[in-house]
Structure 1
Amino acid sequence: MNPDFRRLWTGSAISQLGSAVGMVAVPIIAINQVHASPFQVALLGVLAAGTTAVLAFPVGRAIEFRRKRPVMIATDLARCLALLSLLPLPWVTYPHLCLVAVVTATGIVSHAAASQSHLKALVTREELIEANSRLESTRWLSITVGPSAGGALVGLLSAAGVLLIDALSFLASVFTIRRLRTPEPEPPERADGGSRREELFAGWRFARGHPVLMPMLLSWVGFTGGSAMAGGVAAYFYLNDLGFTAWQYGLLMGVPSLGGFLGARLAPRLAVRLGQVRALWWASQLRGPWYLLIALAVPGPVGLAMCGVGFGMVLLFAGAANSTMTAYRQACTPQELMSRVTTLWAFATTVSQPLFMVLGGLLATWFDSRTTLLVATVVMCSAALRLPRAA
């Protein structure tokens, strides 16, 4: 890997860890400082998801024809300033928190669109799978370590101190982007005579007509949807049906994420051995069935082990599949469509997940938690059947 990728990777890892640490601070501020209701706290997440859904296509179009490094720097600075604006805690209001949620969501989708497009210009086609493996592995590692560290730091430094750490992590990302030495290529030019509508949905049209990308997108939506369906129900299942304690629940939420880290690091070897499309097919086939261990778990230490192993193995193969999928998508997408195809993935996930969550809640109400988790497992497994075995 060239030095510039290492700089970009370092900055990404710092900002991801900072965000994972800081994610515990905003709900604490909302509840303790603003005295928000449970509905208002949930609404902050809805606002973030809605922002992503509404802005995904316009953001992809806007970024496509611009230089990517200035966009990445601007989105990091915007998120940094948004978090710093919360530091005078006595003056924070609920509308202020809503505005920060919107700015942060806009920054996330914009930065992803720019950075994934720029990554393709920074490394060779052969290096894409290794680059995405490293980026994905640090994401999983931050998910594993960040929330627990954030909870501990809130006790030591207060929520304001944790917000400051999160904000400074974005400045670290800006510093690494500014240190990139490889000249950024000229952005693609707009096609003559193209309408705004055609530009907005060009990524969708390309993916829809591609023999691998469209099944890949549908499979991704199905798997993430099944995971969303199971997510909220699983918490109730762990704590109520299986009687796990709070520390056991925390253990299940953190340690299995190491599986995602290992899976991401495994992805390049699988791609070399099987080819990217076959590696994605195998990883996708093997990720869903492990959730059966959770759905069939029993109370006690055996059930705790079943849930831990099941969740860890799901994440292991999901980490491998995610790295491979992203690398393949980048490799086969023309440079002039990279940002719009990236935001298409963000849009599809953001729109579909709440629907699956509602479905999960309804199934748990009509039947029970275990039945809902079994249905979610079937959905996750079925999603893999859409993928082709070869390109």
Structure 2
Amino acid sequence: MPLANREFRLLWTGQTTSMVGSAITTTALPLAAVVTLGATTFETGLLTAAAWLPWMLIGLPAGAWIDRLPKRPVMLACDVVAFVVFGTVPLLAALGALTVPYLIAAALVGGFTKVFFSVAYRAFLPAVASREDLIGANAKLQAGSAAADTSGPGLAGLLAQISGPVSGILVDAATFAVSALCLRAIRVRETAAPAARPSLRAQIGEGLRFVARDRYLRTLMLFGAASNVALTVYASLEIVFLSRTLGTAPGLVGLVLALAAAGGLAGAAAAGRLSTRFGTARTFLLGQGFAAAMMLVGTFSLPGWGLVLFVLGQSGLAAGLAASQVLATAFRQSYCPPELLGRVASSAMVVNYGTIPLAALLGGALGEAIGVREALWAAAGLLIAALPVLAPLRRLRDLPARQSTGSSTG
């Protein structure tokens, strides 16, 4: 059991606490922009774009650097920087000096810390969990993420109703401090990087080639890039949709998003059982297909009791995505050589997340050009259209546990 392991328990506690704070900020930041500062739909999309732009700028070298460095100090440094950056937002708000450009800058710097932390913690996890526990460990982390997504928006809405949207950002800053303390308490001796290192460019190229030549890693990467376009267009507009199109009060926006995210808990919890019964590859495909169908359901939401449709659609979307994410992450961690794990993770995430800034801007532009609900319909259609990319997985029951030379390339 992963939680019986002290080191994993500390990592899980710190990461889950930090994810709750980040989930609060995911709602509080655009709420502060829209409600407090009167940001436009395009500016709201720009906030999302800024948070993800660092993946395009430094994602690939970050993976190579992570493979050269001990992972825990990198994560600690990221927590400290994020604590300082997000802690300044409520301070400026109290002084009456907060602006939309500053929120965008904070999102950008926070995005840089997220790049390094995300790559490092995925590469660090096998150091605190055995190979046999990887699916269970990833399920626990994904469940923590789902719990954060469930509680975060509700807390953000409650805080916004009581003391304004920026108060949630202050809570986020505090959670980074908790994460840093948990990381400091972990006692794991990390494997030292090789003394003789190739150039940074050579290391980046090695990671890219490893992913590009493997049919399974390549398929997951390409689907992730395509699906993230759809998901980001949708995510960049959902608060505008709830607040302006449906006329939902800030406190209720948080509650609706919290209820909608609850499906992620169920999806993460069910991933292990479903994969044992049906196979990891089949469960991954089932999760993605279910997510696409439920995303479309949410676009038909109406004011008042019609919000139930939004909750059902978003909850189903979260469940399908959470189950698939557990299996995809565990697959990469068990399938790839440990010395390449940082670069494999960053190569995939750069392609996957590199589409997000452009997709966020696209979401804002579409919302203004054709209407917010119509843009959500377009996003759901894009996700459904991306499903054929997963065709190479359809004949598999399980994703392979180890790369087999000659059997997975092509």
TM range (shorter): 0.7 to 0.9
**Which residue does the alignment assign to 1:222?**
226
Deviation by residue 1:175-221 (Cα, 9 ceiling, x = unmatched): 11111123222235554xx3432222332211111121111111222
**Which residue does the alignment assign to 2:88?**
85
The 1:357/1:163 distance shift into structure 2, 3 A limit, reads closer
Amino acid at match of 2:271: A
Q: Residues 203-218 of structure 1 correspond to what in structure 2 (within 5 A)? A: 203-218=207-222
Q: Structure 1 residue 107: deviation in Å? A: 0.9
Q: Structure 1 residue 280: deviation in Å? A: 1.8
Q: Residues 213-362 of structure 1 correspond to what in structure 2 (within 5 A)? A: 213-231=217-235, 245-246=248-249, 252-294=256-298, 297=300, 304-356=307-359, 362=366
The 1:364/1:92 distance shift into structure 2, 3 A limit, reads closer
For 1:238 and 1:48, how far apart are their aligned partners in 2? 21
Deviates more, 1:218-227 or 1:255-264: 218-227
Q: Does 1:67 align with 2:70?
A: yes
Alignment check: 8 A CA contact 1:285 1:385 kept = no
Q: Does 1:184 align with 2:184?
A: no
Amino acid at match of 1:6: R
Deviation by residue 1:264-306 (Cα, 9 ceiling, x = unmatched): 11111123333433332332333323334345x4758885544
Given candidates 382, 389, 408, the residue that maps to 1:376 is: 382
Amino acid at match of 2:137: A
**Which residue does the alignment assign to 2:9?**
6
Deviates more, 1:330-339 or 1:373-382: 373-382
Q: Structure 1 residue 381: deviation in Å? A: 3.6
For 2:163 and 2:255, how far apart are their aligned partners in 1? 23
Q: Does 1:55 align with 2:58?
A: yes
For 1:54 and 1:225, how far apart are their aligned partners in 2? 18
For 1:336 and 1:252, how far apart are their aligned partners in 2? 43
**Which residue does the alignment assign to 2:180?**
174
The 1:70/1:278 distance shift into structure 2, 3 A limit, reads same
Amino acid at match of 2:345: T
Given candidates 119, 122, 126, the residue that maps to 1:120 is: 126
**Which residue does the alignment assign to 2:405?**
none
**Which residue does the alignment assign to 2:404?**
none
**Which ranges in structure 1 are unaligned for 5 or more consecutive residues?**
none
Alignment check: 8 A CA contact 1:188 1:336 kept = no
For 1:235 and 1:47, how far apart are their aligned partners in 2? 17
Q: Percent identity?
A: 26
Corresponding residue SS for 1:256? helix
Deviates more, 1:130-139 or 1:271-280: 271-280
Q: Structure 1 residue 233: deviation in Å? A: 6.1
Alignment check: 8 A CA contact 1:229 1:376 kept = no
Deviation by residue 1:212-267 (Cα, 9 ceiling, x = unmatched): 111111122222222234445666777888x6755876554331211111101111
Amino acid at match of 2:335: C
Q: Structure 1 residue 376: deviation in Å? A: 2.9
| Aligned Cα root-mean-square deviation (Å) | 3.4
Q: Structure 1 residue 128: deviation in Å? A: 0.7
Alignment check: 8 A CA contact 2:237 2:367 kept = no
For 1:286 and 1:86, how far apart are their aligned partners in 2? 38
How many residue pairs get aligned? The number is: 386
Q: Structure 1 residue 84: deviation in Å? A: 2.9
**Which ranges in structure 2 are unaligned for 5 or more consecutive residues?**
401-410
Q: Structure 1 residue 100: deviation in Å? A: 2.9
Amino acid at match of 2:133: E
Q: Structure 1 residue 324: deviation in Å? A: 0.5
For 1:339 and 1:173, how far apart are their aligned partners in 2? 21
Deviation by residue 1:321-373 (Cα, 9 ceiling, x = unmatched): 01110110111111112112222233223322344456665599569828525
Amino acid at match of 1:318: L
Q: Residues 98-109 of structure 1 correspond to what in structure 2 (within 5 A)? A: 98-109=104-115
The 1:374/1:173 distance shift into structure 2, 3 A limit, reads closer
Deviation by residue 1:55-109 (Cα, 9 ceiling, x = unmatched): 1112111121011111111111111122233454228565654543332111111
Alignment check: 8 A CA contact 2:75 2:121 kept = yes
Alignment check: 8 A CA contact 2:31 2:165 kept = yes
Q: Residues 7-22 of structure 1 correspond to what in structure 2 (within 5 A)? A: 7-22=10-25
The 1:275/1:286 distance shift into structure 2, 3 A limit, reads same
For 2:64 and 2:234, how far apart are their aligned partners in 1? 33
Corresponding residue SS for 1:85? helix
With structure 1 as the length reference, what TM-score do the two structures score? Answer: 0.84
Q: Structure 1 residue 13: deviation in Å? A: 1.0
For 1:184 and 1:376, how far apart are their aligned partners in 2? 42
Corresponding residue SS for 1:183? coil
For 1:181 and 1:149, how far apart are their aligned partners in 2? 33
